Amino acid sequence: MASIPPEGHPEAAEPAARPDRSAAESAVRTLIRWAGDDPTREGLLDTPARVVRAYEEFFAGYREDPVQILSRTFAEVDGYDEMVVMSDIRFESHCEHHMVPIIGKAHVAYLPDRRVVGISKLARLVDIYARRLQIQEKMTVQIADTLNDVLEPKGVAVVIEAAHQCMTTRGVHKPGATLITSRMLGAFRSNSTTRREFLAMIGLTGAGPLNNT
């Protein structure tokens, strides 16, 4: 997989390039008209404001710095050197091709080298990248590479399983189809026993490729 450099800083538009709230609301009114409805009818009057507020929540990840979130680590681990696994981290993201939801779960693991990070930070890391326009493959790489760069552990593993509403509700209409992506670094890549142990812990078979659940 091509290496995508982790974004140490939010890839937010410069403040000058970000439209103001009324411009964003006006864009929503345009889309309502494009859909075939009348943005001035009573039921839709407050919709642009609500949509813009929802976007602030959906895309809050542009305002947060994942490197800063992970920078507080703990060195006192009393010799703990087994893998740390956080599984089933539910996330909601949006596909960058259609801007519709990607809903799934991430499994994140690392093999510490002296330092560990607070477990809530792993969930925050997933959320920061999820709350941006994404493709699942890129999100998988960003989570793994950022954890690897900041914590410098002996290995990192990230597996993401998600359903893409652009596939389930439009286009080919394949409800129930799940996309699984993974990125293995360090010991998880070089040591098949470590990799299998991780895959077993998250409930995926370690015997073959990651193409079955």
Would residue 164 show up in a list of annotated catalytic residues for this protein?
yes
Known active-site residue 166: yes
Number of residues that bind Zn ion (CB under 5 A): 4
Beta-sheet strands, E only, within 84-186: 84-95, 101-111, 116-117, 133-134, 155-164, 179-186
- Cβ contact 28:50 at 8 Å: no
Provide, rounded to whole angstroms, the least separation between the CB of residue 116 and Zn ion: 36
Note if 56 is an active site residue.
no
Q: State the minimum distance, in angstroms, from the CB of residue 170 to Zn ion.
A: 8
Among this protein's residues, is 68 annotated catalytic?
A: no
Residues between 161 and 190 that touch Zn ion (CB under 5 A): 166
Decide: 180 and 211 in contact? Cβ < 8 Å: yes
Nearest distance, CB of residue 166 and Zn ion, angstroms: 3
Q: Using CB under 5 A, which residues numbered 42 to 101 contact Zn ion? A: 95, 97-98
Backbone angles phi, psi at 95, to 5 degrees: -70, 135
Nearest residue to 129 via CA among 141, 114, 116, 117: 141
Name, in order, each residue with C-beta under 8 angstroms of 74's C-beta and a sequence gap of 6 or more: 115, 116, 117, 118
Candidate list 92, 137, 165, 166, residue with the active-site label: 166
Q: Return the number of the residue (166 or 179) whose C-beta is nearest Zn ion.
A: 166
**134 is known as an active-site residue:** no
CB of 95 to Zn ion, least distance (A): 3
Catalytic residue status for 57? no
Binding residues among 94-133 for Zn ion as defined by CB under 5 A:
95, 97-98
Two structure tokens written together for 126:
């997933």
Query: Quick one: how many helices (H) and strands (E) in the chain?
Result: 8, 7
Stretch that binds Zn ion, among 27-35, 52-60, 160-168, 193-201 (CB under 5 A): 160-168
Nearer to Zn ion, 98 or 189 (CB): 98
The question of whether 95 is a catalytic residue gets the answer: yes
Using alpha carbons only, what angle is made at residue 148 by residues 213 and 99, rounded to the nearest 5 degrees?
A: 60
- Minimum Å distance from CB 135 to Zn ion? 8
The conformation of residue 115, written as its DSSP 8-state character, comes to B
Q: Which residues are catalytic?
A: 95-98, 136, 164, 166
The contact set with Zn ion (CB under 5 A) reads: 95, 97-98, 166
